[in-house]
Amino acid sequence: MIGDIRETEECQLKDPMDLFHSGQVVKICAPMVRYSKLAFRTLVRKYSCDLCYTPMIVAADFVRSAKARDSEFTTNKGDHPLIVQFAAKEAQVLCDAARIVCPFADGIDLNCGCPQRWAISEGYGACLINKPELVKDMVRHVRSQIDNPKFSVSIKIRIHEDLKRTVDLCQKAEAAGVSWITVHGRSIEERHQPVHYDAIKIIKQSMSIPVVANGDIKTLKDAENVHHLTEADGIMVARGLLANPAMFAGYEETPFQCIQDWVDIALEHGTPFTCFHHHLMYMMERITSKQEKKVFNVLSSTSAVLDYLNDHYGVW
């Protein structure tokens, strides 16, 4: 982390709220475990992504361990605006984590939406939507302890079965000074059920701060439709960007130039092979035959992948 972070000391941090005041829908790369790291953020920024999140980082580990900081958070001077997402359940721990990243990022986000069992059993993620006073306290603490007024503090949530509880949570967070709220339009229990875009619209109409819509957005057309359905100020995409990092630039499937860009960026950043390969598997899902996938998906070295791309697609 430190080597790359030093570069950012010369960079100009940005005010993410400027994006929401631009009059355009803000296009956002979601926090994705293992995937929304620096190299991938660098790629999607080339293709009209306005704002990127890091993968979720457990704040307590980040504060306690230099090793965790080095492995979990890497950035550079082109990686802005950048939001660092934390899992936290104590206000002061979140503040301490925010203070560490404040010189190098443009804001933090509190994860109140992760539905995984391990997170909920630890008191992180989606269980926080049932603790509105704690969320309010955490937002307020960060607001009061970070001197930079442009440093954003946002939250990402899921919805309750009873939407009044969600609106109450959002209004409490707004009163505490939250910058914006991202709403994944499913409850904790829902996984592949249709997203409740109508719920996101109700939340948006109840707030005077920006609201970001998240859930099942696979194409730029989907993003436009969800914007119209919800009136959201921003659109956050996860799997849609994995499958097509050029999605926000209007491409319906990953263009070969984007694959070439990923190869160049990943090699430059020293991306571990598994991550490098997995991203390519996602990107090429729609443009390769079943037979090609059988061969490509079992390649086991960077050189084998590069040879395959060169032989079959003239990439690299």
Q: Which residues are annotated as a binding site for FMN?
A: 31-33, 85, 184, 238-239
End-to-end CA separation in angstroms for the chain: 28
- 304 contacts: CB under 8 Å, gap ≥ 6: none
Annotated catalytic residue 114: yes
81: nearest Cα among 33, 142, 150, 146: 150
Q: Which residue has the tokens 């009061």?
A: 144
Helices first, then strands: H and E counts in the chain: 16, 9
Cis peptide upstream of residue 272 (ω within 30 degrees of 0)? no
48 φψ region: left (φ > 0), alpha (ψ -120 to 50), beta (else): left
For 190, the token pair is: 């829902």
**CA-closest candidate to residue 315, choices 278, 267, 260:** 260
Q: Which of 95, 112, 114, 170 is catalytic?
A: 114
If DSSP codes are grouped into helix, strand and coil, which group holds residue 85?
strand
Packing angle between helix 132-145 and helix 163-176, nearest 10 degrees? 20
Numbered residues of the known binding site: 31-33, 85, 184, 238-239
> Look-up: residue for tokens 């979601």?
30
Cα separation, 11 vs 246, in Å, equals: 25
Backbone torsion region of residue 231, taken as left when φ is above 0, otherwise alpha when ψ lies between -120 and 50, otherwise beta: left
User: Which residues form the catalytic set?
Assistant: 114
